[in-house]
Amino acid sequence: MRVAHMRLNTRAYRPNIELVRDPVQYGLVEEVAQITDSVEALTSKLNESLGKLNNLESNKKALEEDIAVKTNSLNIDQSQCLRLRKTLVWRSFRPATMFSATSVCHSKVPIIL
């Protein structure tokens, strides 16, 4: 950008200059406009990228906190609850059937279909 501006200034202050714009002058002016547009587009992309980066960093922080909580929960489960579970006596459980084939239900409970 500075180079293009310097070229325009050099052309403006050259000796025996005429007040005529030639194709080179138009080319330099167009080049400065293109560079300015490119800088604005890149600045916009940079701001957008920085916003996304901040969003990703906050998501990363939330995930790291979630992992820390879950790791702590696992440690508590393994160090304290597992010892208690090992001392319990486990018996097989057989649920009693609610109705046998010979029993008759005498209650008057409405059946809603």
Torsion sign over Cα 29, 31, 34, 40: negative
**What is the pLDDT at residue 79?**
84
How confident is the model over 90-112, as a mean pLDDT? 60
pTM: 0.52
Rounded distance, CA 18 to CA 50, Å?
A: 48
Q: Is the pLDDT of residue 66 over 80?
A: yes
Q: Is the pLDDT of residue 88 over 80?
A: no
Rounded distance, CA 105 to CA 91, Å?
A: 31
Q: Please name the residue that has the structure tokens 């916003």.
A: 51
In sequence order, which ranges of the chain are alpha helices (DSSP H)?
A: 2-12, 23-76, 82-87
**What is the pLDDT at residue 100?**
53
Both tokens assigned to 59: 């998501």
DSSP structural state of residue 6: H
**What is the pLDDT at residue 111?**
59
